[in-house]
């Protein structure tokens, strides 16, 4: 009886752990610049840039929760950050590595 329970439990746990991971591309975008304002965040997929993800600007020292609506496609997806009164910068990140936070800085970015 115990063996039968184990045999049934393992596939169920595997199914739910896979399901819980699917779509889990939520992260927090932080503005760690010395005073610049982020006006736009875009991803490049299927040969084109997305619409702006941001509904309002992110001031220095602030952050905003971001929700990636899909877990399909490549893990390494370029993204673009548009800075007010400066222009935009393009970056690349492997989103499948469990990105929880993206920290935009005066030069470049970091993540954890």
Report the predicted TM-score, pTM, of the whole model to 2 decimal places.
0.76
Residues of the chain with pLDDT under 50: 2-22
Q: Which of 106, 76, 108 is nearest to 92 (CA)?
A: 76
Degrees to nearest 5, angle at CA 51 with 85 and 95: 95
For residue 51, what is the DSSP state? Answer: P
Q: Which CATH architecture has domain 25-111?
A: Sandwich (2.60)
Every domain of the chain and the residues it spans: 25-111
Contact 81/69 with Cβ under 8 angstroms?
no
Degrees to nearest 5, angle at CA 55 with 64 and 75: 60
């Amino acid at each position: 009886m115990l063996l039968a329970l184990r045999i049934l439990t393992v596939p169920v746990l595997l199914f739910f752990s896979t399901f819980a991971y699917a779509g889990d591309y939520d992260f927090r975008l932080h503005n760690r610049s010395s005073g610049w304002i982020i006006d736009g965040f875009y991803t490049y997929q299927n040969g084109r840039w997305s619409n702006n993800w941001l509904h309002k600007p992110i001031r220095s020292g602030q952050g905003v929760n971001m929700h990636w609506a899909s877990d399909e496609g490549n893990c390494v997806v370029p993204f673009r950050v548009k800075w007010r009164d400066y222009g935009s910068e393009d970056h690349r990140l492997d989103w499948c590595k469990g990105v929880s936070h993206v920290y935009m800085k005066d030069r470049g970015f970091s993540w954890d």
